Amino acid sequence: MESVTNDWLNVGSNSLVTGCGRTLTIPVAVKNTHSKEREFKISISTSFQQKEGMIEWIISLEGKRTIEITSSGVDPKNLETEFFVKGDNLTTIPLVIKTPRGGFKGDSLKLTYFVESKDGLNADKGTISITLMPVFIALKTTVGNELQVSLDLSNKSYKDVDEKRIEGIENPENEIMSIVSPKDLRGYVFVETMHPDRVGFIAKGIKGFKGLVDGDIKFEEISHYLTPKPAVSGLELGSFVELIDGPFKGEKAKIMSIDKAKEEVTVQLVESMIPIPVTVRAEALRVLDRR
């Protein structure tokens, strides 16, 4: 069932994906298409699909007075509120959902809403689904310790799993799903997790860990770190380079041509008696200067 948009009712997104510990606000806009003031009511029921039924979500309707419930798979609750809309006016009631601090990938909440006027002239309904997925967060580190912090964090996350198992938790999951330590980024490490509030606790005490950066990191912001750069990236015609591998290791040369498809570079040795072109792998070069 799609979210409703018509001449008197407009409800925001009907399908959302977000992380744990987040607050979502979905506007429920009700327009009184008549000239006289009229009374309306919003009713919302909750249902869940989640690994642990006791995980709680907080849902509220924030009109002139806020109606709030804490609902879970084992104790699903409903909420409703009534309000007046002046003639030919629009009133927006924010529907606010606070996702649980921790959950499991794919856990979801379905909200079924029914909006009606007390005079029976308007009535409509729809659903909103919210699915929990991992988020990326950034950790600050001392410059030069990015990789070591990543390794230590990974080790501590596995110890955390062992400790949960000792405490009697069945099939505990690792809070750290992946760690990205980009070679070209100094002072930061990215972590994928379902429990962002737990990462700081696990990282506490790790040498070089300086804290968490507020907010989530969009995957699009770090995806380029996951794609290897072509070996010829940064090489230009006329640049002076040093050969760092192969039979001419240590020789200085000038780039004469670049084959991007093969990732090969043809250079001319600077100190050679005879200027013979030599073709080498791009990885075998270190840029000295560009002319």
- pLDDT score recorded for residue 218: 84
Confidence of residue 205 (pLDDT cuts 50, 70, 90): very high
| Tens of pLDDT, residues 140-159 | 999 999 999 999 999 999 99
| Tens of pLDDT, residues 57-93 | 999 998 778 999 999 999 999 999 999 999 999 999 9
Measured distance CA(114)–CA(127) in Å, rounded: 9
Measured distance CA(214)–CA(221) in Å, rounded: 15
Superfamily (CATH H level) for 135-226: NusG, N-terminal domain (3.30.70.940)
Enter the tokens of residue 206.
Answer: 């790790």
Residue 290 identity: R
| Tens of pLDDT, residues 208-262 | 999 999 888 888 888 877 776 777 777 889 889 999 888 888 989 999 999 988 8
What CATH number should be reported for the domain whose range is 240-289?
A: 2.30.30.30
Residues 6+ apart with CB under 8 A from 215: 137
Identical fold for domains 9-132 and 135-226, yes or no, is: no
Q: Looking at 178-182, 193-197, 232-236, 240-244, which range is the least confident one?
A: 232-236
- pLDDT score recorded for residue 274: 79
Confidence of residue 1 (pLDDT cuts 50, 70, 90): very low
User: What DSSP letter does each residue of 100-169 carry, written as one string?
Assistant: -SS--TT-EEEEEEEEEETTSS-EEEEEEEEEE--EEEEEEE-TT-HHHHHHHHHHHHHHHHHHHHHTT-
H-helix or E-strand spanning residue 219: helix 219-222
Q: Residue 3: pLDDT above 80? A: no
Boundaries of every domain in the chain? 9-132, 135-226, 240-289
Measured distance CA(58)–CA(56) in Å, rounded: 7
Enter the tokens of residue 16.
Answer: 């959302």
- pLDDT score recorded for residue 289: 66
Measured distance CA(82)–CA(68) in Å, rounded: 14
Q: What is the mean pLDDT of the chain?
A: 90
Express as a percent the part of the chain with pLDDT over 90: 66
| Tens of pLDDT, residues 86-134 | 999 999 999 999 999 888 999 999 999 999 999 999 999 999 999 999 9
Which CATH architecture does the domain made up of 9-132 adopt? Sandwich (2.60)
